[in-house]
Amino acid sequence: MILPAAVRASSGVVEGHLKFESMHPQVISHIHVTLMEKYVRGRWKNKLADLYKIGEIELEEDIEVPADTPVLIDFKLPFTVSKSEMDEIADKNIVFKKLVNTAKAIKNVRSEFYVQAEAKVKGTALSPFDKQELKMV
């Protein structure tokens, strides 16, 4: 998977490429691409994490992958990042922004984003997949 170094949250779309290679000719019948947010807060024993699916696409077309020849498939993954109440308050005023950032640092609040892709290949039991972290700015 080839992704940009960073994506603006306001853009609402991740543009990337999926790269497929095989030692034998294969046919991909289905590709599922998902953007996930891992929202982590707390420290040590009180650490909590939630996973949110914020974007998803399905590519359902037969794609032939010849032997020893890489195949690149472009994709555009639309997404929607929802803001917490604290983020909404921070956006309203620069003074509140500093207070919110301090509160987040104390509670160790952070979001991690990653793109996950899984392909269904005709004639195989196992599906190839890739997971790559994405920096959201």
Question: pLDDT tens for residues 85-133?
Answer: 777 777 777 777 777 778 778 777 788 899 999 989 888 877 888 898 8
In a domain? residue 51: yes
Q: Is the pLDDT of residue 83 over 80?
A: no
In a domain? residue 98: no
Return the DSSP state at 101: H
Q: Decide: helix, strand or coil at residue 80.
A: coil
Number of structural domains, the chain? 1
Return the DSSP state at 52: E
β partners of residue 134: 113
Domain that holds residue 29: 6-81+108-123
In a domain? residue 93: no
In a domain? residue 61: yes
pLDDT value of residue 85: 72
8 Å CB contact between 91 and 83: yes
- 91's CB contacts (< 8 A; 6+ apart) are 83, 97
CA distances from 125 to 16, 86, 120, 121 (A): 26, 45, 9, 8
In a domain? residue 58: yes
pTM, 2 dp = 0.74
Question: pLDDT tens for residues 51-80?
Answer: 889 889 998 888 888 888 888 889 998 998
- 45's CB contacts (< 8 A; 6+ apart) are none
